[in-house]
Amino acid sequence: MGTLNAIPGTGDAAFASNEKGAIVFWNDAANRLLGYSSGEVLGRSCFKVIGGFDIFGNPYCRSDCNLRRSLLCRNAICPFQLQVRKSSGEYILAALRIEPVSGRQLSDFQVVHRLKQILSPTDVAPRSYLNPAALDSQSEETPRHRESRAHSPESPLTNREREVLAMLASGSSTNRIAKKLHISVATVRNHVQSILRKLAVHSKLEAVFIAHRNHLV
């Protein structure tokens, strides 16, 4: 069904689930990261094994997986972060990339999950922007220093994208942002998609969270 070809021999932890959500492939790196052997998880429901929570502590993984539905509708899924469960019961924060693999029949449809452990939600953002030393010392920064760092050339966002993100953070709708900035609704949506891609998050809510963490707004 193509799953093995979709998961090359890299160091990434990866597994695949079928159209019913059952795990059909589990590599050695996933074993090392989460502690489950392939024999323990193959055939089991993905959501029962992973038991994912979002960065706000809300249950994310369910039997009626939103990711599978989105992929079946041919919608792209941006990388996002999730708290996933290890065999010990401990939860770790991981960056996830989701990739579809489709065969000739619907029953051949599979979802490949790539996982990489991260130390904080901000680690999902582009490495060119993040400065761990700066993040560790941010409690000692003044508001002026924070503002300067957020608007430095290292920021992944353009000035317009920061405007849009700030308005999202204040609760503005897409239509209101378009009216306020004198641009079309389609342009606002393009900016939002660019923001999600650059911050490597899955939703506007996560983008706002990351923006506050990194003082982008």
- Which of 83, 118, 153 delimits the end of a domain? 118
pLDDT given for residue 49 in this prediction: 95
Note whether 103 and 109 are within 8 A (CB): yes
pLDDT given for residue 103 in this prediction: 55
Query: pLDDT, tens digit, for every residue of 64-107?
Result: 887 877 777 777 777 888 889 999 999 998 988 888 776 544 45
Question: Which of helix, strand or coil describes residue 62?
Answer: coil
One-letter amino acid at 107 equals: S
pLDDT given for residue 182 in this prediction: 93
71/140 same-domain check: no
Residue 200's pLDDT band (boundaries 50, 70, 90)? confident
The CA-atom distances, in angstroms, between 148 and each of 130, 160, 165 are 14, 17, 17
Query: pLDDT, tens digit, for every residue of 143-176?
Result: 433 343 333 335 678 889 989 988 888 888 889 9
7/105 same-domain check: yes
Instruction: Please give the average per-residue pLDDT across 201-210, as a whole number.
Output: 74
- Measured from the Cβ of residue 65, the count of other Cβ atoms closer than 10 Å reads 19
Most confident of 33-37, 111-115, 120-124: 33-37
Instruction: Please give the average per-residue pLDDT across 112-133, as a whole number.
Output: 57
Is pTM beyond 0.85? Reply is no
The tally of domains found in the chain comes to: 2
Note whether 194 and 40 are within 8 A (CB): no
114/204 same-domain check: no
Nearest to 24 by CA among 45, 5, 6, 9: 45
101/19 same-domain check: yes
Instruction: Please give the average per-residue pLDDT across 111-139, as a whole number.
Output: 53
For the chain, state the CA radius of gyration.
19
Cα separation, 217 vs 158, whole angstroms: 13
pLDDT given for residue 124 in this prediction: 41
Domain that holds residue 146: 124-213
Question: Which of helix, strand or coil describes residue 95?
Answer: strand
- The yes-or-no verdict on residue 11 having pLDDT over 90 is no
109/137 same-domain check: no
pLDDT given for residue 98 in this prediction: 86
107/147 same-domain check: no
pLDDT given for residue 84 in this prediction: 92
The CA-atom distances, in angstroms, between 127 and each of 17, 79, 88 are 29, 14, 30
- The yes-or-no verdict on residue 123 having pLDDT over 70 is no
Handedness of CA 120, 121, 127, 133 (dihedral sign): negative
103/56 same-domain check: yes
CATH number at residue 109: 3.30.450.20
Note whether 162 and 152 are within 8 A (CB): no
- The yes-or-no verdict on residue 184 having pLDDT over 80 is yes
pLDDT given for residue 144 in this prediction: 39
Cα separation, 134 vs 44, whole angstroms: 42
- Which of 82, 98, 118 delimits the end of a domain? 118
33/110 same-domain check: yes
152/106 same-domain check: no
Cα separation, 84 vs 55, whole angstroms: 10
- Which of 72, 91, 118 delimits the end of a domain? 118
88/18 same-domain check: yes
Q: What is the largest CA-CA distance in the chain?
A: 58
Nearest to 116 by CA among 210, 6, 12: 12
Instruction: Choose between 3 and 11: higher pLDDT.
Output: 11
153/199 same-domain check: yes
9/110 same-domain check: yes
Query: pLDDT, tens digit, for every residue of 12-61?
Result: 899 989 888 899 999 999 999 999 999 999 999 999 999 988 777 778 88
Note whether 46 and 26 are within 8 A (CB): no
The CA-atom distances, in angstroms, between 204 and each of 153, 166, 174, 185 are 23, 11, 11, 16
CATH number at residue 177: 1.10.10.10
